[in-house]
Amino acid sequence: ILNVEQSPQSLHVQEGDSTNFTCSFPSSNFYALHWYRWETAKSPEALFVMTLNGDEKKKGRISATLNTKEGYSYLYIKGSQPEDSATYLCAFIRSNYQLIWGAGTKLIIKP
Amino acid sequence: DADVTQTPRNRITKTGKRIMLECSQTKGHDRMYWYRQDPGLGLQLIYYSFDVKDINKGEISDGYSVSRQAQAKFSLSLESAIPNQTALYFCATSDSPGGPVDTQYFGPGTRLTVL
């Protein structure tokens, strides 16, 4: 793949349930992968940056994994809360420093 | 106070008008970026600047120009606005010499509508 693809585009999850979604990127010329969280009417904010195959990062109930060989990263949210509702963006950085953004996964937590 | 500010937050204009969007930052970062976001698409880089004397085109620079007036200020101009430039525009900053893994800090966005 030449682009960064995020799936699903949107996701409705019951409060308390856990969920995950995917960022797929070209497996060649990998340099780094960022995850950002973008709440409606606010600015995107950085969650994680990952650079090594097998990297796992965690911040509270949110964690991410990275597989550079097959070109994907998963973002996991454990025990979803209403404040987790946001669009989650990933950005792939190639070895020539080109940065390519995915279109995002919009997560809606139902109370 | 927000570290990265954008003005205006919303703007409606007509085809053919010249528009300037302004971005200011208090983070002391050297690197600044302008993106546009269209529904269903990822952020697309318009222009970026690694310091006051360094301006670079991004992937969709046609129809846009920029000015880096100071380390803290980076303006985006639409010389003659057209309807397909209707979008949400973000300014962002990042520190150097963080390199390609450095985190970007975004402004609140400017929603531009061209009629």
A-chain residues near B101 (CB < 8 A): 31-32, 34, 49, 51, 93
B-chain residues near A102 (CB < 8 A): 42
Q: For A67-110, what is the HEC assignment?
A: ECCCCEEEEEECCCCHHHCEEEEEEEEECCCCEEECCCEEEEEE
Find out whether B24 and B73 touch, Cβ atoms under 8 Å: yes
In which residue are the tokens 């070895």 written? A95
Q: Is the peptide bond before A111 cis (omega within 30 degrees of 0)?
A: no
What confidence tier does B101 reach under pLDDT thresholds 50, 70, 90? low
- A28 in contact with B, Cβ within 8 Å: no
Under DSSP, is residue B17 helix (H, G, I), strand (E, B) or coil? coil
Residues near B97 by beta carbon (within 8 Å), at least 6 away in sequence: none
B-chain residues near A4 (CB < 8 A): 42
Q: How far is residue A52 from each of residues A7, A46, A67, measured CA to CA in Å?
A: 22, 18, 8
Distance from CA of B89 to the nearest CA of A (A): 11
Read off the tokens for B1: 């106070």
Find out whether B60 and B46 touch, Cβ atoms under 8 Å: yes
Predicted confidence at residue A1, as pLDDT, reads 47
Residue B114 has pLDDT above 70, yes or no: yes
Residue B98 has pLDDT above 60, yes or no: no
pLDDT-above-90 percentage for chain B: 77
Residue contact A99–B45, C-beta within 8 A? yes
Predicted confidence at residue B39, as pLDDT, reads 86
Q: Which residue has the higher pLDDT, B57 or B2?
A: B57
Find out whether B76 and B109 touch, Cβ atoms under 8 Å: no
Find out whether B19 and B77 touch, Cβ atoms under 8 Å: yes
Residue contact B100–A46, C-beta within 8 A? no
- For B91-112, what is the mean pLDDT? 83
Region class of B16: left (phi > 0), else alpha (psi between -120 and 50), else beta: left
What confidence tier does B102 reach under pLDDT thresholds 50, 70, 90? confident
Measured between alpha carbons, how far is A12 from A35 in angstroms, rounded to an integer? 20
Predicted confidence at residue A40, as pLDDT, reads 87
- B97 in contact with A, Cβ within 8 Å: no
| Side-chain half-sphere CA neighbours of B85 within 13 A | 28
Find out whether A60 and A81 touch, Cβ atoms under 8 Å: no
A-chain residues near B107 (CB < 8 A): 43
- A37 in contact with B, Cβ within 8 Å: no
Find out whether B113 and B11 touch, Cβ atoms under 8 Å: yes
Regions of chain A where pLDDT drops below 70: 1-2, 96
Measured between alpha carbons, how far is B107 from A42 in angstroms, rounded to an integer? 8
**What number of C-beta contacts closer than 8 Å exist between A and B?**
49
Q: Characterize the bridge pairing of strands A10-14 and A105-110.
A: parallel
Predicted confidence at residue A41, as pLDDT, reads 85
User: Which tens digit of pLDDT belongs to each residue from B49-91?
Assistant: 988 999 999 989 999 999 999 999 999 999 999 999 999 999 9
